[in-house]
Amino acid sequence: MQDKDLELLRILEDNSRLSAKEIATMINLNPDDVKARIHALEAEGIICKYSTVINWEKAGNGEVSSIIELKVSPERDYGYDRIAERLSRFRQVKTLRLMTGTYDLQLLVTGKNMQEVSRFVSEHVAPMDRIRETATHIIMKSYKENGNVLFEQKEAERLPYSF
Partner 1 sequence: MRNFVSERAQSIPPSGIRKFFDLALTMENVISLGVGEPDFRTPWNICESGIYSIEQGVTSYTSNKGLPVLRETLSDYLNQHYNLHYNSDDEIIITSGVSEALDIAIRAIVDPGDEVLIAQPSYVSYAPCVTLAGGIPVPVECTETDRFKLNPDTLQDKITRKTKALMINFPNNPTGAVMNLKDLEAIADIIIDKDLLLISDEVYAELTYEGNHVAAGTVSDLWQRTITLNGFSKAYAMTGWRVGYLCAPKEICEAVLKIHQYVMLCAPVMGQVGALEAIRSAEEDKNNMVQEYRLRRNMFVAGLNRIGLSTHVPEGAFYAFPSVKDTGLSDTEFAERLLKEHQVAVVPGSVFGDGGKNNLRCAYAVSRKHLTEALGRIESFLTTL
Q: Which of 7, 33, 63, 69 binds partner 1 (CB under 8 A)?
A: 7
Q: Which of 16, 19, 22, 88 binds partner 1 (CB under 8 A)?
A: 22
Q: How far is the CB of 56 from partner 1 (least distance, A)?
A: 24
Q: Does 94 bind partner 1 (CB under 8 A)?
A: no
Q: What angle do CA 27, 32, 36 make, to 5 degrees?
A: 90
SS3 of 5-29: HHHHHHHHHHCCCCCHHHHHHHCCC
Residues sharing a CB contact under 8 Å with residue 102, sequence separation 6 or more, in sequence order: 69
Q: Does 33 bind partner 1 (CB under 8 A)?
A: no
Q: Which of 4, 5, 9, 11 binds partner 1 (CB under 8 A)?
A: 11
Let me know: does 116 contact 104? Beta carbons within 8 Å: no
Amino acid at 91: R
Let me know: does 47 contact 12? Beta carbons within 8 Å: yes
Q: Does 9 bind partner 1 (CB under 8 A)?
A: no
Q: Does 59 bind partner 1 (CB under 8 A)?
A: no
Q: Which of 19, 25, 115, 148 binds partner 1 (CB under 8 A)?
A: 25
Q: Which residues bind partner 1 (CB under 8 A)?
A: 7, 10-11, 22, 25-28, 156, 158-163
